[in-house]
Amino acid sequence: MTHTLAHLSDLHFGLSPRLEARARALAHGLIHAEVDHVVLSGDLTHRGRWDELDAFGAALAPLRDAAELSVVPGNHDRLGDDVAASIMDNHRVLASQHEGLYVVRLDSTAPHNCRYPFEGHGLLGDQDLLELDDALGRAPGGCLVVVTMHHHPLPLPEESSLERLSTWIGLPYSTELATGRELMACVRGRCDLLLHGHRHVPSERVLDGGSRPLWVVNAGSSNELGRARVFSHRGGRLQGPPRWLELPSTPQHREPRLRPRTGWPRVETLGPPVLAS
């Protein structure tokens, strides 16, 4: 039986009514498409406030009734009231099995995220990686294995003048996880999808994993973009590249629609992790 998995991120409830309306429209589209599972990879709220988290919960309640959800916190969820801990019940790593699917949720946020938005970079320690390794070791056969977290494990281009300035003066505002290479060494060959957010421009890479290629996918800000990737899988294997569920661009098209896509991205080879001396 073929199942579907959608990926949303960086909805930033509390930032603007327009973006919240677009998030509700995407949720409606995923319900209409009968998606089985939805991953939300952080920054559910904009200022980490309880009222923003409540608004997120209310907006996505119909989707939660129609599909299973796997949610991780992002750095913006650590601001204000610091609602991040409630999202994963104070755990750093949680794994769950679903029909045809095994999802490992990883909290990549850190205490420094509570201070200022420009201290948004992530942090994964040795214990986090050990727990991730253990969770992947318990993955059942015949399931698509997904790891989701908020921050990006591999370098991505800066998206704004502020990010370029922060990189130039040596601030880690837009940098990848410091232990990103170690993370990749842990998941390659044991995982099919690594789904993250944090950066608002979407991206995808397929890395060589022998008989098990690894997709590293950044959702971008789903409601800013007005679209979300939907993956199909069966028997632990992806069934082709993802499709985009897109919000209508004209009033004549009222329903979000799935746009077919053909062709796989080029498979890359990533070198071994570089360990500090």
Domain ranges within the chain, ordered by starting residue: 3-266
Q: Which residue would you say has higher pLDDT here, 92 or 172?
A: 92
pLDDT in tens, 242-271: 999 999 875 555 667 777 665 666 767 666
Res 169 pLDDT > 80:
no
Q: Can you give the pTM of this predicted structure? A: 0.92
CA angle at 132 for the pair 131 and 133, rounded to the nearest 5°: 90
Neighbours of 200 (CB within 10 A): 18
Backbone phi, psi, residue 199, to 5°: -90, 135
Res 274 pLDDT > 90:
no
The pLDDT confidence band at residue 55, using thresholds 50, 70 and 90, is very high
Neighbours of 204 (CB within 10 A): 14
What is the model's pLDDT at position 277? 30
Span 124-141, mean pLDDT? 97
Res 275 pLDDT > 50:
no
Neighbours of 263 (CB within 10 A): 7
Tokens of 112: 């420094």
| Whether the Cβ atoms of residue 246 and residue 256 lie closer than 8 Å to each other | yes
Residues 26-62: b if buried by 16+ CB within 10 A, e if exposed: bbbbbbebebbbbbbbbbbbbbbbeebbebbeebbee
Cα–Cα distance between 242 and 262 in angstroms, integer? 9
Q: How many residues does the chain have?
A: 277
Residues 6+ apart with CB under 8 A from 232: 2, 3, 4, 5, 238, 239, 240, 242, 243
Out of 51-60, 106-115, 120-129, 171-180, least confident range: 171-180
Res 231 pLDDT > 70:
yes
Tokens of 33: 């498409």
Average pLDDT, the chain: 90
Tokens of 203: 């991206």
What is the model's pLDDT at position 22? 96
Q: Which amino acid is at 125?
A: G
3-state secondary structure 45-92: ECCCCHHHHHHHHHHHHHHHHHCEEEEECCHHHHCCCCCHHHHCCCCC
Class of domain 3-266: alpha beta
Span 198-213, mean pLDDT? 90
Out of 8-22, 132-146, 227-241, 255-269, least confident range: 255-269
What is the model's pLDDT at position 276? 35
What is the model's pLDDT at position 254? 60
Calculate the CA dihedral of residues 266, 5, 223, 67 and round it to 10 degrees.
Answer: 180
Out of 118-122, 186-190, 217-221, least confident range: 118-122
3-state secondary structure 124-189: CCHHHHHHHHHHHHCCCCCCEEEEECCCCCCCCCCCCHHHHHHHHCCCCCCCCCCCHHHHHHHHCC
Rg (CA), the chain: 18
